[in-house]
Amino acid sequence: MSDKNRFGGFSTRAGFTPIPNPFFSAVLPDIQDLSELRVTLYIFWALYRKKGYPKFITFSELRGDQALISSMRGSSSSAEEELKRGLEMAVNRGVLLHLGINRDGEVEQLYFVNNEQSRRAIIQIESGEIKLGGMVKVEPASTEEKPNIFALYEQYIGLLTPMIAEDLKEAEKLYPASWVEDAFKESVVLNKRSWRYISRILERWASEGKDYGKTRESTKEDIKPKDYLRKYAHLTRK
């Protein structure tokens, strides 16, 4: 491999895609086909980036991703044929679930990760309980990695502790990434470099609106993330 094609390494601010642990112990050892492995890992990544319920990806979306398609080159088949073959193998293995729906006279192929939530969603779609409107779009891969909440903390405040890490995980579920980044930056401008202060900024933005009033230090008792989730869950639903 030439130096030109050699990967330069992962940024400390790179985001992460969660993959269920059983994939590595019960599934990966049996996968022999590269196309199946590529499409399976891609779908884990793509569905993690989607919002709302149910989470699925269509064949049209998969076929339209140039990075994925460029990796699907078989010795005697086209990239699209390799994609179809990889999907079929992943479905037969039970890692993915497949559902065909009729949309405007054409059949659209939907793919889900095989988990309890997806199995329930497929039943609801087939029974008509869920009516699919516009297709969900996966966000295109960005060449510029945005810092996650842990990288922001280390950049603006300092070393992470296990207790703070738990609070950050809760906040990452509650607030948009842009809010979190803006709150960190605002705390720096005001020279209030602490998670306690940043969490107060986010709490106020969620309850009053991000552009309402000016940031000021609150004298109220801190609200724990779990209590906040119960109190303001309606503000975070998509």
**Per-residue pLDDT tens for 121-130?**
999 888 888 8
Which pLDDT band holds residue 137 (cuts at 50, 70, 90)? very low
Those residues whose C-beta lies under 8 Å from the C-beta of residue 61, and which sit 6 or more positions away, are: 46, 135, 137, 138
d(CA 83, CA 236): 36
Q: Give the mean pLDDT of the chain.
A: 81
Those residues whose C-beta lies under 8 Å from the C-beta of residue 140, and which sit 6 or more positions away, are: 65
Amino acid letter for position 124: Q
Domain count, the chain: 2
3-state class (DSSP) for residue 96: strand
| Structure tokens belonging to residue 111 | 């793919």
State pTM to two decimals.
0.57
Mean pLDDT of 205-213: 72
Q: Which residue has the higher pLDDT, 109 or 105?
A: 109
Output the pLDDT for position 149: 86
Output the pLDDT for position 221: 46
Mark whether 162 and 64 lie in a shared domain.
Answer: no
Which sign does the torsion angle of CA 203, 205, 208, 209 carry? negative
| Helical ranges in the chain per DSSP H | 21-22, 34-48, 59-64, 66-71, 79-93, 116-127, 149-156, 162-174, 177-189, 195-208, 225-236
Mark whether 52 and 102 lie in a shared domain.
Answer: yes
Mark whether 72 and 160 lie in a shared domain.
Answer: no
Residue 170, pLDDT above cutoff 50: yes
| Structure tokens belonging to residue 87 | 């999907």
| Helical ranges in 9-109 per DSSP H | 21-22, 34-48, 59-64, 66-71, 79-93
Asked whether residue 4 is assigned to any structural domain, the reply reads no
Mark whether 118 and 31 lie in a shared domain.
Answer: yes
Asked whether residue 198 is assigned to any structural domain, the reply reads yes
Task: Give the least confident one: 49-53, 132-136, 138-142, 186-190.
Answer: 138-142
Q: Domain of 117: which CATH number?
A: 1.10.10.10
C-alpha distances in Å from residue 147, one per residue of 78, 121, 178, 208: 37, 32, 10, 26
Chain centroid to Cα 175, Å, comes to: 14
3-state class (DSSP) for residue 28: helix
Mark whether 101 and 184 lie in a shared domain.
Answer: no
- Is residue 168 a contact partner of residue 181, using CB atoms and an 8 Å limit? no
Asked whether residue 106 is assigned to any structural domain, the reply reads yes
Mark whether 67 and 154 lie in a shared domain.
Answer: no
d(CA 8, CA 108): 38
